[in-house]
Amino acid sequence: MEFCDECGSMMKTEGDEWVCGSCGFAKPRNAETEAAMTTTQGQEETEVIDVSDVDDRGLPTTEVHCDECGNDEAYWYMQQIRSADESETRFFVCTNCEHRWREDDH
């Protein structure tokens, strides 16, 4: 990848030249410089890991009782819902039935 010496925009190849699509500046291509550039061609493919069956929302869990289904584990997160001088509110989402409630509801 080359960037324009005049305006800094990304350049594209046209034949034996690098040409800027923004300002029209052109400069000759250099085979040695281009050979040293990193490309995605020829790189090893990465292994795809199937995590579709993982039940993880990326949120921490805690031991708390769900009044809807009786489960004792829930995801939790904090959110500012009142003015900045008030404390945040903790919200829970049951890991079993996905019932939602906030800490001050109980």
Q: Is the pLDDT of residue 86 over 90?
A: no
Domain extents in the chain:
1-38, 61-105
Q: Is 62 annotated as a binding residue?
A: no
Q: Write the CB contacts of 27 (distance below 8 Å, at least 6 apart in sequence).
A: 2, 5, 17, 18
Select the CATH number that applies to the domain covering 61-105 from these four: 3.40.1160.10, 2.20.25.10, 1.10.520.20, 3.40.50.300.
Answer: 2.20.25.10
Domain at 1-38, CATH from 1.10.10, 3.90.1480, 2.20.70, 3.90.1690:
2.20.70
Please, which contacts does 2-7 make with residues 24 or more away whose CB atoms are closer than 8 Å?
2/27
5-53 confidence digits (pLDDT tens): 999 899 999 999 999 999 999 999 988 888 887 666 666 666 776 666 6
Is 51 known to sit in a ligand binding site? no
Q: Which of 49-53, 77-81, 85-89, 91-95 has the highest mean pLDDT?
A: 91-95
Q: Is 80 annotated as a binding residue?
A: no
User: Has 10 been labeled as part of a binding site?
Assistant: no
Lookup: tokens for 41? 């061609």
pLDDT at 53: 62
Amino acid in the structure at residue 21: G
Q: 54-70 pLDDT, tens per residue?
A: 566 678 999 999 999 99
